[in-house]
A and B are shown apart, each in its own frame.
Chain A
Amino acid sequence: MGAGHGHVLYRESDSPVHRLPPEVKIVAMVVFTLAVVATPREAFWAFGAYAVLVAVVAALARVGPRWLLSRALIELPFVLFAVALPFLGSGDRVEVLGLRLSEDGLHGAWNILAKGTLGVLASLLLAATTTTRDLIVGLDRLHCPQVLTQIATFMLRYLDVLVGEARRMRVARISRGDDPRFLWQLRGFAAGIGALFLRAFERGERVYLAMLSRGYTGRMPAVWQGEGAASAGQWLVAATVPVLAASIAATAVVLS
């Protein structure tokens, strides 16, 4: 673990968005998402405006559109759900390309597609510009209960422990003559899943006891030392995005 507490989605960079304190980014992202969800689905222009906002932030954070879009595929399952809605929905039917589709279903599909995609893009931007360690520091500064931040801290650290132990066990299996290919790898993995859990736990427990003996009390030093907490200016800068989004949502509600 040592040096990099980054994660797969983190993009090392030094953009203005990266430099913002994490708590500010979390609040901005949550407010933006809430504004998007509160927007009436018939206000098509509003979703265009949100997309422009996302694009501007992405450009500021130096995150390329290809990177963003390829990782947004995670919402594919719900896109499939959205595609099914025009066929399943009840109510008025409209003729589209020779198919009789439910109008309500079509609106619903658009609703899921637009709001889902914008939400995914917003969280990907947060992930790309914030390390997981900073994320937890941010949650702690936002007064998230310490039990939760503690579990989250250990979870993110133990993920690496788990992956490392799984790799070691695989090497051990192979060096003892196991020759896993394709799907049969799964069998060896499934048989050893209990052992993997125990090994990872005992390793993690040693780490935890070592931390305790060095004065760990449930919070990481970065939090209680209070360095790098957001200044009023940074809050103002980051507030631009959610405030813009909220005013778009308010306008859309008033107009509809």
Chain B
Amino acid sequence: METLAMHISNGIIDGPVAAIFAALALAGLTACVLRGRRDLDDRLAPMAGLVAAFIFAVQMLNFPIFTAGVSGHLLGGALAAMLVGPWVGALCVSVVLVVQALVFGDGGVAMLGLNITNMALLGTAAAYLLIALMLRVLPRTRAGLAVTAFVAAMLSVVVASQGFVVQYWLGGTTDLGSNLAGLAGTMAGTHLLIGIGEGLITATTVLTVAKVRPDLVYALRSLRTPTTPAVPVSGGVR
């Protein structure tokens, strides 16, 4: 019964551990702000906003997982890493988390550091490392891109869920004793299922965008040969 929404609410993890992770998240975000500022140009600014809005909307969709009697939602870290890169991507997810904590009470404000570490930093970093690796290994076809998006999204969700297990192990307010392994198992299992849903949504979205506006996919930028002009516009936007 223990997984559900991934936003940790107040009082689940004790103060000192929350403070350590808040510092960690702050350091990570500072790095992202510094690097992200360089990335954020005229094309990426509206994209970052839309990715954040998309993640915000998608996080409202809850997947019921009947076997475990719980539900969980998408994280969007892989989608963000794919479309706007790891730095701005982590910022997008963080913004979503901050607004949800401040306004919707989803995830405690005092636990923001933990949530940002799990979902924004850990999830996006795992996703981007996988994307970078797989795009080099897999053939540069639509299928290759789809598999990359799917696997990166699925595994990043599981990695983020294990972040919670580590945090609970370090500073859970209730000692679960040997049940901690059970917690880790349940978290991994349910989030593998969530990850499949997340992978499907990420793969469809990325494929569509890559087909129509490949210039918008950050992860494909480094792979393109430098001689290709960067703006293949379709749809009469500009």
Q: Are B50 and A112 in contact (CB under 8 A)?
A: no
A123 adjacent to B11 (CB under 8 Å): no
Other than the known A74-B105, A112-B173, what 14 A-B pairs have Cβ atoms closer than 8 Å? A9-B104, A78-B12, A81-B2, A90-B179, A111-B173, A112-B11, A115-B10, A148-B33, A148-B95, A152-B95, A154-B45, A159-B57, A201-B46, A205-B43
- A104-B50 in contact (CB<8A): no
Among residues of A, the one whose C-beta sits closest to the C-beta of B99 is A152
Q: Would B40 and A204 count as touching, CB distance under 8 A?
A: no
> Which of A41, A123, A157, A193 is in CB contact (< 8 Å) with B105?
A123
- A34 in contact with B56 (CB, 8 Å): no
A89, B109: Cβ atoms closer than 8 Å: no
- The reply to whether B46 and A205 contact each other, CB–CB distance below 8 Å, is yes
Pair A147/B96 contact, Cβ less than 8 Å: no
A-B contact pairs, 5 of them (CB 8 A): A7-B103, A33-B110, A41-B11, A41-B173, A81-B2
- Measured CB to CB, the closest approach of chain B to A4, in angstroms, equals 16
CB distance from A186 to the nearest CB of B (A): 10
Q: Assess the A205–B92 pair: CB atoms within 8 A.
A: no
Known: A111-B173, A152-B52, A201-B216. A120 touches B45 (CB 8 A): no
Interface of A is mostly: helix
Given contacts A108-B173, A115-B108, A123-B102, contact A158 B209 (CB under 8 A): no
Question: In the complex, what distance in Å separates the CA atom of A9 from the CA atom of B159?
Answer: 32
In the complex, what residue of chain A is closest to B207 when comparing beta carbons? A194
Chain B's closest residue to A31 (CB) is: B109
Complex-state Cα separation, A126 to B1, whole angstroms: 30
Number of interface residues of B (CB under 8 A): 68
* Interface bits A60-101 vs B (CB < 8 Å: 1, else 0): 000000000001101101101101110011110000000000
Q: Are A91 and B33 in contact (CB under 8 A)?
A: no
Complex interface: chain B residues within 8 A of A108 (CB)? 172-174
Interface size on A, residues (CB 8 A): 82
Q: Which of B50, B105, B108 interacts with A204 by CB under 8 Å?
A: B50
Contact with B along A186-202 (1 / 0, CB 8 A): 00001001110110111
Any chain B CB within 8 A of the CB of A162?
A: yes
6 A-B pairs with the lowest CB-CB distances in the bound complex, closest first: A154-B49, A194-B208, A108-B174, A115-B11, A77-B4, A90-B177
User: CB-defined interface of B105-141 with A at 8 Å, one 1/0 digit per residue?
Assistant: 1101110000000000000000000000000000000
Check A116–B50 contact: CB distance below 8 A.
no
Chain B residue nearest in CB terms to A113 = B11
Measured CB to CB, the nearest residue on chain B to A132 is: B103
Q: Write out the residue numbers on chain B whose beta carbons fall within 8 Å of the beta carbon of A104.
A: 174-175
* Chain B nearest CB, measured from A155 CB (Å): 4
- CB of A104, distance to nearest CB on chain B (Å): 6
Task: Indicate which residue in B9, B46, B176 contacts A120 across the interface (CB closer than 8 Å).
Answer: B9
What distance in Å separates the Cβ of B16 from its nearest Cβ neighbour in chain A? 11
Q: When the two chains form their complex, are residues A208 and B174 in contact, meaning their CB atoms are under 8 A apart?
A: no
Q: What chain B residues lie within 8 Å of A127 (beta carbons)? A: 102-105
| A46 interface residue per 8 A CB criterion | no
Closest CB-CB distance, B193 to chain A, in whole Å?
A: 16
In the complex, the answer to whether B46 meets A197 with C-beta atoms within 8 Å is: no
Please tell me which one of the listed residues A37, A145, A155 contacts residue B110 in the complex, with CB atoms under 8 A apart: A37
User: A163–B213 Cα gap in the complex (Å)?
Assistant: 22
B237 at the interface (CB under 8 A from A): yes
Taking CB atoms, residues of chain A closer than 8 Å to B18 are 37
Does A114 make an interface contact (CB < 8 A)?
yes
Minimum CB–CB distance for A103 against chain B, Å: 10
- In Å, the complex CA distance between A172 and B237 comes to 21
What distance in Å separates the Cβ of A161 from its nearest Cβ neighbour in chain B? 7
Assuming the A-B contacts A114-B11, A148-B33, A204-B46, are A74 and B94 also in contact, with contact meaning beta carbons closer than 8 angstroms in the complex? no
- Asked if B101 is at the interface (CB within 8 A of a chain A CB), the reply is yes
* Closest Cβ–Cβ distance, residue B109 to chain A (whole Å): 4
Contact of B229 with A by CB under 8 A: no
* Closest A residue to B39 using CB positions: A147
Asked, given contacts A81-B2, A145-B33, whether A37 binds B10 with beta carbons under 8 Å apart, the answer is yes
A222 within 8 A of B: no
Answer whether residue A246 sits at the interface, using C-beta atoms and an 8 A cutoff.
no
User: Shortest distance in angstroms between A87's beta carbon and chain B's nearest beta carbon?
Assistant: 9
Q: Would A72 and B105 count as touching, CB distance under 8 A? A: yes
A177 to B177, CA, bound (A): 58
* Interface residue from A36, A158, A212 paired with B42 (Cβ < 8 Å): A212
Say yes or no for A29: interface residue by CB 8 A criterion: yes
> Nearest Cβ distance between residue A34 and chain B, in whole angstroms?
5
A3 at interface by CB-CB < 8 Å:
no
Q: A29-B109, A37-B15 are in contact. Are A81 and B1 (CB under 8 A)?
A: yes
